[in-house]
Amino acid sequence: MVAAAMAVDLGTKALAVELLAGGVPQSLMPVLDLSLVFNRGISFSLFQAPDPTSLALLLGMQVALTCFVIWLALNAAEALQRLGFSAIAGGAISNVLDRFMDGAVTDFLDLHTAGIRWFTFNLADVWISVGVVLLILDALPIWPHRAGMPGGLAQ
């Protein structure tokens, strides 16, 4: 899961850089455009890292948090937890590699509605979000392994 998430994300980022280099957004759907942006901060471009020192600090924090998520994935007791943490780890590693290579994370999916631009993101962000949803689902008491029933998703 981790390798697949990384490969898909890094591949689509490379494709976006090649196809969107002219800076002209391409309409994909009524609420989604393809638009190339390089994010030097964290999510939603917060806490920009414009100089080498702040970039090193941001990379260090990202690597530490990513290592923690990998540790959680390796030590997860339930299959849905492992899948969720693995999706998060794959997206996180991909963004770390992207930032390490270019000093910024490549974003290209531009979400908008009614003339309001919400945010621009990439598939690593999608993997991370899917992982969080899987962890939330795993925490709900509707799953057989949470209700004390034998079997369930743990096997």
* Per-residue model confidence as pLDDT tens digits over 5-29: 999 999 999 999 999 988 888 998 9
Query: Rounded CA gap, 76 and 110, in Å?
Result: 34
- Whether the pLDDT of residue 151 is over 90: the answer is no
| Domain span at 71 | 2-20+36-115+122-140
- Model pTM? 0.85
133 falls within a domain: yes
pLDDT at 127: 96
CA distances to 76, 109, 153 from 135, rounded to whole Å, are 11, 24, 13
- Whether the pLDDT of residue 67 is over 70: the answer is yes
List the catalytic residue out of 9, 98, 107, 110. 107
**Structural domain total, the chain:** 1
Sequence-separated contacts (24+) of 61-67 with Cβ below 8 Å? 62/92, 62/95, 62/96, 62/99, 63/96, 65/92, 66/92, 66/93, 66/96
Rounded to the nearest 5°, which phi and psi values hold at 36?
A: -80, 125
List the catalytic residue out of 9, 33, 110, 125. 125
pLDDT, one tens digit per residue, over 109-132 is 999 988 888 888 999 999 999 999
147 falls within a domain: no
- Is 9 annotated in the active site? no
- Is 107 annotated in the active site? yes
Rounded to the nearest 5°, which phi and psi values hold at 57?
A: -65, -45
